């Protein structure tokens, strides 16, 4: 029996959480003080003579997402657990199917989760739609000392060369003046300019010394209001889907990080906001996560300054960067670079999506007009090409969400996508696609999921691949 938790089973839910996830007490306390009660929890119960026994649970944590610049409410599935005694008896299946039905009835487009094991969720048509970037690096203080020594030697040599050159010039001038009997006392040589490159490649000390930046651990709500608005605007240009940042979001993140004995650093260059990062020790690394930089051109320098700040304060030497996909071009270094030894960066699959309402999702989708131009049978000019409409009827099969199964009319025109469920009954030979294959393409950008679908016509495959995937996504929350 699937029921909604009304708070009366909080202790049992807490115990099941601890038995399955083994979080530190401080983190579990954070979750049950700050998240539980503001979310929804589904319980799978078994009736008994004395009480209802909780066999399994599933938590639905609410977030506001931006999908192609528009707000959309969605639920992040966390805390999926089955009591050991009831495993492999369909407990999780019942919880997931009820979740799909409930969220679809509310008009939600999709749900998502971070799997402990993807194989639990692949059969339920979840597919990956985001991989985060992870990179490990080691701070080498001896390398920094050597770099500083080399810089100092260069400074001293340049100073000496400059002074020698000026002294030689003075001597020559004196000789000329004496010959002309116009000897005058020469003024003392001016102090030469000093190079400020003390950390390697940077030619400006202010760009390499972490003392340039101001690091804060507390900001007022008024200050945060401005910063989160700026962050959302920037992320709208980077991602198809991302979690909206708000002051309550930041406050919850601060408490979450503190529960794991870390802190959130807010970084400023004078009065200008540079970015933020959650920092804290985990196993043998000092971890930087929830990283945001407001200026793409400063990303590399920003990361270095945060690490140097942490090194001065905590002396951890070994660091792990956990970054959203937009940082992939900043994490290409391997080996020695400046003060660090970089390990190869990895793309780690993290977030799986599950489509709940393809009809509603189509309102957020766009299509590839340039490709459609090439598929037109007529010789259309660029100016009128967008008037061409691409149409197909395709049956979508959803084994777990019967309400979503059906024949849909797809229409691609003027850069827009319309997917409308029809009353048409599926007939033998009608082209079809599974919700899993559609999810794999729309969120994972995997064209092979469409190409390998033997139940689609070539026209149907072409149409689906002309829909722009929602594959540039940023969801970095743990719970």
Structure confidence by residue, pLDDT tens digits, 279-293: 999 988 999 999 999
Is residue 209 scored above 60 in pLDDT?
no
At 367-392, the pLDDT tens digits run: 986 544 444 444 444 344 445 688 99
Kindly give, in sequence order, each residue whose CB lies less than 8 Å from that of residue 257, ignoring residues fewer than 6 positions away. 263, 264, 278, 280, 290
**Secondary structure element (H or E) that encloses residue 110, with its range:** strand 110-113
Question: Could you tell me which of 400, 275, 419 has the C-alpha nearest to residue 359?
Answer: 419
- The Cα 235–Cα 308 span in angstroms is 26
pLDDT of residue 368: 87
* Lowest mean per-residue pLDDT among 140-144, 202-206, 264-268: 202-206
Do residues 337 and 141 make contact, with C-beta atoms less than 8 angstroms apart?
Answer: no
Name the percent of the chain lying above pLDDT 90: 77
Please report the beta strands in 294-370, taking only residues with DSSP state E, as ranges in sequence order: 318-323, 335-337, 340-342, 346-355
Q: Which residues of 286-319 are buried (b: 16+ CB within 10 A; e: fewer)?
A: bbbbbbbbbeeebbbbbbbbbbbbbbeeeebeeb
CA nearest neighbour of 444 among 354, 332, 329: 354
- pTM listed for this prediction: 0.84
Query: 200: exposed, middle or buried (C-beta count within 10 Å: 0-12, 13-18, 19+)?
Result: middle
pLDDT at 348: 97
88 conformational bin, left if phi > 0, alpha if psi -120 to 50, beta if neither: left
Per-residue pLDDT reduced to its tens digit, 39-82: 999 999 998 777 789 999 999 999 999 999 999 999 999 999 99
Q: Report CA torsion sign: 261, 59, 326, 224.
A: negative
**How many CB atoms are closer than 10 A to CB 205?**
16
Strand segments (E) across 140-271: 214-216, 241-243, 263-269
Instruction: State the CB neighbour count (10 A cutoff) for residue 52.
Output: 14
Measured CA to CA, the distance from residue 249 to residue 44 in angstroms comes to 30
CA 285 to chain centre: 20
pLDDT the model gives residue 172: 56
Q: What is the pLDDT of residue 76?
A: 98
**Alpha helices by DSSP H, 260-357:** 299-314
Helix (H, G, I), strand (E, B) or coil at 135: strand
Record the tokens describing residue 75, joined without a space: 């639920």
- What digits encode the pLDDT tens for the residues 144-196? 555 555 555 655 665 666 555 556 655 555 554 444 444 344 433 333 332 23
**Average per-residue pLDDT for the chain:** 87
pLDDT score, position 240: 98
Residue 360 CA to residue 215 CA, distance in Å, equals 43
Strands 127-139 and 340-342: antiparallel
How far apart, in whole angstroms, are the C-alpha atoms of residue 358 and residue 471?
16
Six-digit token string for 171: 């001597």
pLDDT of 393 strictly over 90? yes
Q: pLDDT tens digits, residue range 325-370? A: 999 999 999 999 888 999 999 999 999 999 999 999 999 999 986 5
């Amino acid at each position: 029996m699937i029921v909604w938790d009304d708070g009366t089973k909080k202790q049992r839910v807490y115990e099941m959480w601890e038995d399955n996830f083994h979080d530190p007490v401080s983190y579990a306390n954070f979750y049950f003080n700050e998240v539980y009660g503001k979310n929804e929890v589904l319980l799978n119960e078994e009736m008994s003579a004395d009480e209802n026994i909780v066999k399994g649970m599933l938590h639905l944590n609410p977030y506001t997402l931006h999908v192609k610049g528009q707000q959309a409410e969605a639920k992040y599935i966390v805390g999926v657990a089955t009591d050991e005694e009831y495993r492999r008896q369909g407990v999780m299946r019942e919880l997931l199917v009820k979740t799909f039905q409930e969220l679809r009835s509310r008009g939600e487009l999709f749900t998502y989760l971070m799997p402990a094991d993807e194989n639990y969720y692949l059969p339920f048509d979840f597919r990956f739609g985001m991989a985060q970037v992870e990179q490990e690096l080691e701070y080498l203080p001896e390398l920094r000392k050597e770099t500083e020594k080399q810089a100092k030697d260069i400074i001293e040599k340049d100073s000496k060369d400059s002074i020698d050159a000026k002294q030689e010039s003075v001597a020559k001038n004196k000789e000329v003046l004496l010959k002309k009997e116009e000897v005058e006392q020469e003024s003392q040589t001016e102090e030469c300019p000093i190079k400020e490159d003390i950390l390697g490649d940077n030619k400006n000390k202010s760009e390499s010394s972490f003392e340039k930046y101001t690091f804060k651990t507390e900001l007022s709500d008024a200050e945060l209001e401005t910063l989160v608005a700026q962050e959302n605007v920037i992320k709208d240009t980077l991602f198809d889907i991302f979690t909206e940042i708000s002051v309550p979001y930041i406050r919850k993140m601060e408490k979450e990080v503190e529960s794991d004995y870390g802190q959130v650093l807010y970084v400023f260059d004078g009065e200008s906001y540079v970015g933020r990062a959650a920092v804290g020790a985990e196993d043998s690394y000092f971890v930087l996560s929830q990283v945001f930089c407001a200026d793409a051109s400063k990303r590399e320098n920003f990361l270095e300054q945060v690490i140097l700040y942490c090194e001065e304060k905590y002396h951890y030497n070994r660091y792990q960067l956990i970054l959203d996909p937009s940082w992939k071009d900043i994490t290409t270094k391997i080996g020695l670079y400046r003060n660090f030894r970089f390990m190869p960066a990895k793309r780690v699959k993290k977030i799986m999506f599950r489509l709940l309402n393809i009809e509603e999702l189509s309102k957020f989708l766009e299509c590839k007009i340039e490709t459609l131009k090439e598929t037109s049978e007529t010789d259309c000019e660029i100016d009128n090409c967008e008037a061409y409409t691409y149409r197909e009827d395709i049956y979508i099969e959803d084994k777990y969400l019967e309400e979503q199964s059906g024949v849909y009319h797809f229409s691609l025109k003027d850069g827009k996508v319309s997917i409308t469920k029809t009353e048409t009954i599926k007939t033998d030979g009608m082209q079809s696609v599974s919700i899993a294959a559609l999810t794999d393409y729309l969120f994972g950008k995997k064209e092979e999921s469409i190409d390998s679908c033997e139940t689609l016509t070539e026209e149907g495959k072409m149409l689906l691949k002309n829909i722009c995937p929602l594959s540039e996504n940023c969801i970095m929350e743990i719970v």
